Amino acid sequence: MYSVCVRGHVMIAHSFRGELFGPAQRLHGATYVVDAEFRSRELGPEGVVIDIGRAAQALSAILEQLNFKNLDDDPAFANQNTTTEFLSRVVFERMKARIVAGELGPGSQGLAALRVTLHESHVAWAAYEGPLSSGVASA
Amino acid sequence: MYSVCVRGHVMIAHSFRGELFGPAQRLHGATYVVDAEFRSRELGPEGVVIDIGRAAQALSAILEQLNFKNLDDDPAFANQNTTTEFLSRVVFERMKARIVAGELGPGSQGLAALRVTLHESHVAWAAYEGPLSSGVASA
Amino acid sequence: MYSVCVRGHVMIAHSFRGELFGPAQRLHGATYVVDAEFRSRELGPEGVVIDIGRAAQALSAILEQLNFKNLDDDPAFANQNTTTEFLSRVVFERMKARIVAGELGPGSQGLAALRVTLHESHVAWAAYEGPLSSGVASA
Amino acid sequence: MYSVCVRGHVMIAHSFRGELFGPAQRLHGATYVVDAEFRSRELGPEGVVIDIGRAAQALSAILEQLNFKNLDDDPAFANQNTTTEFLSRVVFERMKARIVAGELGPGSQGLAALRVTLHESHVAWAAYEGPLSSGVASA
Amino acid sequence: MYSVCVRGHVMIAHSFRGELFGPAQRLHGATYVVDAEFRSRELGPEGVVIDIGRAAQALSAILEQLNFKNLDDDPAFANQNTTTEFLSRVVFERMKARIVAGELGPGSQGLAALRVTLHESHVAWAAYEGPLSSGVASA
Amino acid sequence: MYSVCVRGHVMIAHSFRGELFGPAQRLHGATYVVDAEFRSRELGPEGVVIDIGRAAQALSAILEQLNFKNLDDDPAFANQNTTTEFLSRVVFERMKARIVAGELGPGSQGLAALRVTLHESHVAWAAYEGPLSSGVASA
């Protein structure tokens, strides 16, 4: 199994509901350094898993929708705690939708799986991984 | 599959038995920067894999039992080389026991797998991963 | 010149005023990974620049005052853009005050300089450094 | 499942063929920081996955064959784009061959899988992983 | 003294002349992860050392001139070994010229010093630092 | 001012005397990831601060004297707490002696300063820097 990974980042505000979160119930924020790892069983004719330029652009476009925002005000996340693990899946699903829509190029149809990791500090990160349509993945 | 990971560290002394180890047969030591990655198929009602505060406390408590010690003197490791891979499993098993005992909160009962990584320098690390009781994991 | 550095982190929300900031004028947030580097010309009798335990506690206490907050609501920062460089100096001044007050132990009176660095992402950081009372520093 | 990982690096020149690559069609180069992760279900008698000294030597020898070269001139890569993902597999296959040949020691025969990761910058990496002869791996 | 730092990267080919360089006399290449640290004694009215957006754009433009090239073919470096330390100064001088030309905005005229660091691998880096026109710097 | 930096590491055991150190009074250990930064005002004829190969060899030789040892048993450190800051100076002085002895090549005589940093974990490091014979340095 091959992997190719690109990195971006996003800076957001939010707050959490539930005693579990202690002081994180207050409005605060985070920088997420985001890794998107694309997996494929085979290389395409050019010797690549995916067009890394398009992959980086897609990640950048997805993060731009979140960047410099208060996620508490985003209707897409109404009644949701935008935890790091939850946001990992949000980025996963939005990237998957772009892959399905063909935005990452024809070769991307052969991708087997995707893993999205959000680093929230030097001591904590979260991730979501799952299969893509045409592959058998490890989730 | 979701993951949440917390990081801690520990500073220990030890020595190894066996010609394989060359100069590491002498009493020496290491800093291990330790990552504990908790995996779950679903998010709990608050939108989390696990209570990250409790997870960090559990990792800290486990590392405290080893910290600032000569592992050659620890009866738990009698007749064992406390290599980085061996210690990865030690931390794994001790964390698993705390999960089973319910110390990480009720939601932790749904955890599928755990991966513990010990970074011993900028050029070497070891890990141990395995399934937890209620899940199907990648080990 | 000797240095000792300890690291912590803080997660905050804020917004900026001024066209210069573009989309960062909106309410957003950041994780700052914070390094506090203490400099001294000589080592104390125990062979240390400073009691590293007290230094880490002081950094933690300073960051706790900011953690999980919207800095736009903090009276201490009224009419101020809480940029990364500005916050570097805030942490610097608060640490300096604790040193002057003797909270880091008697040996800390001999510190020559302090440098505080805030990493806001994997591609940007800011810092503030300056002399402390009894030393000649590089600022 | 246990893992042990060692790190090395290599500095090469190359160029790519295909419009996909844009300016990377020109002769350029890269530093690859290379991680080789060895996986095993069990520890050997000394408490190790593999002789880490031999593993590091093998990685070093494999990278030495590529280091300080223009890969466009290497007959082994004729008519191939030496992309990061392609080179990940090259290192994987060369390490696998050394394992099969017994160069990493008798214990290495029980290795279940191998993962090779090439970091090409702070924002991109690629990897190849696959099973080894006697094990059942996650590829 | 305040600092603000932005990061970029560049991938180049080159070769060195002189027995000192051993195998690096052959055509090879490198990824340089590049940090540009801007230093100032005071903050501008918005609370910044420099317009970080313009700083990042300037670094990107400077690196673009080098990216995906064989530096042996660049007339600007004729009869020069483009070592990491030499290239650090090249980036320094090109950034300094942009600052002097006012490309980084009016506030940048008050910059005291600049430090450019090129990371060539996980085990080696080089840097060049020097004063800027209106300041007193540490070089 | 130019800098060139090389990295190595060392794994040692030791204990500290003094109530200040709390549990670190017990025999324990550390991995130190060690950076040696060489500074020079000018580049030599080949375009280098120093022969980086010789610099790396010298660092490796210095660290080899400490590696896989219990520093409590080293007569060179009798009645000394081998703290991270103390060891930073030890490596500094031993490297300085090699420079003075000409072991790093003739060009090294023009070095202005040296900074040695020991990273003891992901959250703490110490350093020592000072001038070398022929230069004016920042200590």
- Continuous H helices in F3-83: 52-64
**Does an interface of 3+ CB pairs under 8 Å exist between F and C?**
yes
CB nearest D48 (choices: B85, B125, B128):
B85
Token reading at A133: 């349509």
Q: Is A122 on the interface with F (CB under 8 A)?
A: yes
Q: To the nearest whole angstrom, how far is the Cα of F69 from the nearest Cα of chain C? A: 20
Question: Among B56-65, B108-117, E71-80, E102-111, which is the least confidently predicted range?
Answer: E102-111
Token reading at D104: 């990493």
Q: To the nearest whole angstrom, how far is the Cα of F16 from the nearest Cα of chain B? A: 11
Q: Is B84 on the interface with D (CB under 8 A)?
A: yes
Q: How confident is the model at residue F70 (pLDDT cuts 50, 70, 90)?
A: very high
D67-124 pLDDT, tens per residue? 999 999 999 999 999 999 999 999 999 999 999 999 999 778 899 999 999 999 999 9
**Does an interface of 3+ CB pairs under 8 Å exist between B and D?**
yes
- Residues of D with CB below 8 A from B17's CB? 46
Are the C-beta atoms of F116 and F98 separated by less than 8 Å? Answer: no
**Does an interface of 3+ CB pairs under 8 Å exist between F and B?**
yes
Residue of E nearest to B122 (CA): E122
- Residues of F with CB below 8 A from C8's CB? 123
Could you please report the per-residue DSSP string of F82-105?
A: --HHHHHHHHHHHHHHHHHTTTT-
Q: Is E88 on the interface with F (CB under 8 A)?
A: yes
Neighbour subunits, C (≥3 Cβ pairs < 8 A): A, D, E, F
Q: Is E4 on the interface with C (CB under 8 A)?
A: yes
Which F residues in the span 20-49 are in contact with E, Cβ-Cβ below 8 Å?
Answer: 43, 46-49
SS3 content of chain E, % helix, strand, coil (to 5): 35, 30, 35
- Continuous H helices in chain B: 52-64, 84-100
Query: Is C123–E7 a contact, with Cβ atoms under 8 angstroms apart?
Result: yes
Token reading at E45: 């009215």
Q: To the nearest whole angstrom, how far is the Cα of E87 from the nearest Cα of chain D? A: 15
CA E58 to chain CA centroid, Å, is: 10
Distance CA(A11)–CA(A67), nearest Å, equals 5
Q: Of C88, C96, C86, whose CA–CA distance to E43 is shortest?
A: C86
3-state secondary structure C13-40: EECCCCHHHHHHHCCEEEEEEEEEEEEE
What are the pLDDT tens digits along chain B (139 aa)? 999 999 999 999 999 999 999 999 999 999 999 999 999 999 998 999 999 999 999 999 999 999 999 999 999 999 999 999 999 999 999 999 999 999 999 778 899 999 999 999 999 999 999 999 754 344 3
Could you give the 3-state DSSP secondary structure of residue E10?
Answer: strand
Q: To the nearest whole angstrom, how far is the Cα of C123 from the nearest Cα of chain D? A: 9
Report how far apart, in Å, the C-alpha atoms of B94 and of each of B79, B89, D64 are. Answer: 19, 8, 41
Residue of E nearest to C124 (CA): E6
Q: Which pLDDT does position B134 carry in this prediction?
A: 54
Q: Is F69 on the interface with B (CB under 8 A)?
A: yes
List, in order, residues 6 or more apart from B46 with CB less than 8 Å away.
A16, A17, A18, A20, A21, A81, A83
- Residues of F with CB below 8 A from E83's CB? 43, 46-48
- Check: pTM over 0.80? Answer yes or no: yes
pLDDT score of F59 more than 70: yes
ipTM of the complex: 0.93
pLDDT score of C45 more than 80: yes
Are the C-beta atoms of F92 and F35 separated by less than 8 Å? Answer: no
Could you give the 3-state DSSP secondary structure of residue E110?
Answer: helix
The dihedrals phi and psi of B114, each to the nearest 5 degrees, come to: -140, 140
Q: How confident is the model at residue F97 (pLDDT cuts 50, 70, 90)?
A: very high
D20-56 pLDDT, tens per residue? 999 999 999 999 999 999 999 999 989 999 999 999 9
What is the Cα gyration radius of chain B? 16
Q: Of C8, F5, D5, C7, whose CA–CA distance to B121 is shortest?
A: D5
Distance CA(E87)–CA(E125), nearest Å, equals 11
The dihedrals phi and psi of E5, each to the nearest 5 degrees, come to: -130, 135
Mean of per-residue pLDDT scores for chain E = 94
Could you please report the per-residue DSSP string of A95-117?
A: HHHHHHTTTT-GGGGG--EEEEE
Query: Is D30–E33 a contact, with Cβ atoms under 8 angstroms apart?
Result: no
Q: Which pLDDT does position C139 carry in this prediction?
A: 38
- Continuous H helices in chain C: 52-64, 84-100
CB nearest A85 (choices: B2, B8, B56):
B2
